[in-house]
Structure 1
Amino acid sequence: MLPSADALAASRLSLSVDGPVATITLNAPDRRNSQVPSMWHSLAAIGAALDDEIRVVVLRGAGSCFSAGLDLGLLSPEGVPGEEHMLGLMNAADQTIIDTIDGYQQGFTWLTDPRFISIAEVHGYAIGAGFQLALACDLRVVAEDAWFCMKEPALGLVPDLAGTKPLVDLVGYSRALEICATARQVSAPEAADLGIATAVVPVAELQATTDDLVQALLANNAGAVRETTALLQSARVEDLDTQRLAERTAQARRFRALAAGG
C-alpha cells in the first residue's frame, strides 16, 4: 500500500499517479528539499507499493532546486525533530550503522527496477544525497542552471546512498574519483559531456522536455521496454556469452507474449 498523503508530507514528499506515470516531488522548498531518513524510508515504501501498471517514475524537486542534500540539522546536537539522530548513529556499533544505512539505501536502489524507467528532473542544486538520488534514476533531464556535487568527503563522510556505482558506470573511475575527492561542483554542460545528463535544456523547458520524454518512453510495447531495460542493466556486468544467452532468453519470452497477443 502506498504511504498516505499525510505520511508523505511529513517526510517531505508528495506523490501523484496518472495512469502509467508516477511523479514523486521532493516537497520541502523552504529547506531546499534537504533529505532526512523519513524521506528515504518513504521513497522505499513507494517503490515497494507501485504496481506493474506503472511504466515511468519521475522525480522532481519543488522550489529553487532538486535537492541540496542531507539536512545538516541531522548532524547537529539537537538533530531534526522526528528524525533519527545521526550523532547517536555515529556512536552505535558497526553492525547497527551498516544495517541502518542499508535501510536508507533502499530509498534509492528501487529506482533501477526494470519494471519501469525512472527519470530525475534536475534544476538548481543536486548536492550530496541529491546527486545520489539523481544518479539512482535511469535518466536525468537537467536544466541549464543545475549543479551537481558529491559533498560528503568535505563533511568527513563518504557517499553511502548507493551513488558510487552509477557514477563510476557513467563517467569512469578516474573522473568519479576526481569529482568525489575534490567535492567540486559539476555544471550542467559538463554533466552532459560526462554522460551524467541525458539532456540539458533551458529552465523554462525542463518540465515540457521531461513530459515529452515520458510520452516517448510510453509509445513502445511495455513488455519489450522492460525486457530491454533488464538486458541493458545486465550488459554492464555480464560477459558476452552470458549476455547473449540473456538476449535469446528474453526474446523467447517476447515471442511467446506476442503470440499470445501481448
Structure 2
Amino acid sequence: MAYENLLTEQKDRILYITINRESKLNALNRQTLQELNKAITAAIADQSVGGIIITGAGNKAFVAGADIAEFAGVDQQGGTAIAREGQSNVFDLIANSGKPIIAAVNGFALGGGLELAMACHIRIASDNAKMGLPEVTLGLIPGYGGTQRLTQLVGRGKALEMILTADMVTAEQALQSGLVNAVVPQTELLAKAEEMTAKILSRAPLALAAAIRSVNAAATDGVNGFETEITEFGQCFSTADFKEGVDAFLNKRKPLFTGK
C-alpha cells in the first residue's frame, strides 16, 4: 500500500516503517497517525511479517513531536478526543502488538515522538539522539501515554523530572536510566535494530506474543500479571512450537518454529 507520509519496505520477515516528513522533522500530524494505524494493523494481520522496525527519515529526527499547528483552536473536548484516538489507534496498538516492534531512534525524539518510541517494545538509539517530553512549555502535558510509559521505564522521580523541567536527555543518559536498550553510532543504527529483530524472530512466534502480553499485564490496572503469566505459560504447552522446541533441545539441534 502506498502512503503519503510513510515509507514501508519488507525484507524477509521484517517490515520497515519510515516516517517520511523530513522537512517537518517527521512530526506526527493527523494523517501520519492514520497511516501508522493502517500500516501497523496490516502488518499485524500479515503472516509474512514477523516484526517491525519504526524509524524516521533523515539524520535530524526520529519524530520531533506532534504537529502543533493542528492543535490551534482546539477546545477541551477536542483535546480529549485527540489523546484518546491517538492512544487507541496508534500507541496502544503498537504496545499491544503480539509481533515485536522496535524503534530505531535517530536524532530528536520529542513529545509524541518519544511517546511513539516508548510504545514500541524495544528502543535502539543513535549516539546523537536527544529525547524529551517538552509539552509543559506549551501549556500541555504528554497525551499519548507519555506520563504512564515514561514512569514505567525510568521510575516516578526521573519521569517527573523530565516532564516538569521539559529538559532533553542524551542517548547515553537515556541508556543509563533504562529509557533505551542500546546506543550505537548513527551509521550502525538500522543494522543494530535489524540484528536484534532477527534474533527475536528466531524464537517461537506464539511464545513471543505470550511474553509481550504477560509483560504488558504488569502495568495494566485490574489485571493480575502473575495470573496472566500462568495462563500464557500453560497455553504454550498446547502449541506445536513448544513440542518442536523441546524436541530440538533434547536432540541438540536448532528448532524450526512455525507459529502453530
The TM tier, using the shorter chain, reads 0.7 to 0.9
Q: Deviations over 1:81-126 (max 9, x none)?
A: xxxx422323xxx444323432222222111134201100011111
Partner SS for 1:253: coil
Residue 162 (structure 2) aligns with: 179
Residue 50 (structure 2) aligns with: 55
Partner SS for 2:98: coil
Cα offset for 1:41? Answer: 1.5
CA pair 62-248 structure 1, distance change in 2 beyond 3 A: closer
Cα offset for 1:243? Answer: 4.2
Residue 81 (structure 1) aligns with: none
Aligned to 1:86, which of 61, 64, 71? 71
Where does 1:33-72 land on structure 2 (aligned, <5 Å)? 33-50=26-43, 51-53=45-47, 54-63=49-58, 64-72=60-68
Residue 117 (structure 1) aligns with: 100
Aligned residues: 241
| Identity value in percent | 27
In structure 2, stretches of 5+ residues that fail to align are 245-257
CA pair 205-100 structure 1, distance change in 2 beyond 3 A: closer
Alignment partners' CA distance in 2, 1:251 and 1:235: 19
Decide whether the 8 Å contact of 1:52 with 1:115 is kept in 2: no
Where does 1:237-252 land on structure 2 (aligned, <5 Å)? 237=220, 238-239=223-224, 242-243=227-228, 245-252=230-237
Q: Which amino acid aligns with 2:130?
A: W
Residue 103 (structure 1) aligns with: 85
- Using structure 2 for the length normalisation, give the TM-score: 0.84
Alignment partners' CA distance in 1, 2:122 and 2:42: 22
Q: Which amino acid aligns with 1:35?
A: L
Partner SS for 2:238: helix
Q: Which amino acid aligns with 1:97?
A: G
Q: Which amino acid aligns with 1:192?
A: L
Aligned to 1:209, which of 192, 207, 213? 192
Cα offset for 1:239? Answer: 4.2
Partner SS for 1:197: coil
- CA RMSD of the aligned region, Å? 2.3
Q: Deviations over 1:145-200 (max 9, x none)?
A: 10001010111111001222211111111110111000001111111111111111
Cα offset for 1:257? Answer: 6.3
Alignment partners' CA distance in 2, 1:256 and 1:211: 23
Alignment partners' CA distance in 1, 2:79 and 2:108: 28
